[in-house]
Amino acid sequence: MSKFKTKAVNFEPTEVKDDGTFGGYCSVFGNTDSYGDVVMKGAFTDSIKAWETKGKMPPILWQHDRGDVIGVWTKLYEDDYGLYGEGRLLVDDVAKAREAHALLKHGAIDGLSIGYSLNKWSFNEDEEVLELLAVDLKEISVVTFPANDDSRIDSVKSILLKGDMPTLPEFEKFLRDAGFSKSQATAIAGHGLRKLLQGDPETKADKNDDYSEVLSILKSINE
């Protein structure tokens, strides 16, 4: 699951200073979001160490736009609540940073969103949530409207159309979000996707039939 994802939170900066420095939580632990994902404590440990080895921290972007770097994170660490960050907006050198600074300072925007790739996860069947155990942190953005990554329908459809396979829990959760019951989602995913993921010994034609069935389900939901 190396696909780039985003996940946002409302945050209350500890203080937005005139020089552009501020602090706040970039992610919180143990909170189930609208897509059934939970970031677990320790998820950022390896990624933070990797950044420290490079002698730098992730950039601060504006709205996840790689062309709009507006600052630098100077410190990132985990506590019992979540991922806390201290950063500095480059208000003296970057026009967009000055805009973001003014909006943050006056409370017009209050969103931070992490951009990441998922390295390790587990599916909690009892709670029906995807637990994010280790993420590769790419950047942290200031965003206008805190929101999760693209809808699971669009995300999973995109993965399939590129010839790749989503994970079974990801596909089942996507079906639940689309309105299927738990038993329906399990049956649909188990009939087609599970065979493809497990590589059951069957003919190529049968595999193609299963793949086509999965795509037809996606098409009917998304139209």
User: Helical H runs in 78-142?
Assistant: 95-105
Straight-line distance from the first to the last Cα atom of the chain, in angstroms, rounded to the nearest whole number? 26
Residues 188 and 115 in one domain: no
Residues 100 and 183 in one domain: no
Q: pTM higher than 0.75, yes or no? A: no
Residues 132 and 211 in one domain: no
Q: Among residues 121, 143, 165, which one ends one of the domains?
A: 143
- Exposure string of 80-119, with b = 16+ CB inside 10 Å and e = fewer, is eebbbbbbbbbbeebebbbbbbeebbeeebbbbbbbbebe
Q: Among residues 143, 178, 207, which one ends one of the domains?
A: 143
Residues 207 and 166 in one domain: yes
Residues 139 and 160 in one domain: no
pLDDT tens-digit series, residues 128-165 = 788 999 999 999 999 886 644 433 444 455 555 555 66
Number of domains in the chain: 2
Q: Among residues 123, 143, 163, which one ends one of the domains?
A: 143
pLDDT tens-digit series, residues 84-94 = 999 999 999 99
pLDDT tens-digit series, residues 26-62 = 888 988 876 678 899 999 999 999 999 999 999 999 9
Residues 139 and 169 in one domain: no
pLDDT class for 99, splitting at 50, 70, 90? very high
pLDDT > 80? residue 21? yes
Domain containing 46 equals 4-143
Residues 130 and 176 in one domain: no
Of 40-49, 111-120, 134-143, 196-205, the poorest mean pLDDT is in 196-205
Residues 121 and 32 in one domain: yes
Residues 75 and 168 in one domain: no
What is the predicted pLDDT for the residue at 202?
45
Q: CB of 101 within 8 A of CB of 142?
A: no
Residues 98 and 182 in one domain: no
Residues 132 and 37 in one domain: yes
Residues 165 and 188 in one domain: yes
Judged on CB neighbours under 10 Å (0-12, 13-18, 19+), 41 is middle
Tokens standing for 40?
């677990």
Structure-model confidence comparison of residues 78 and 174, the more confident one: 78
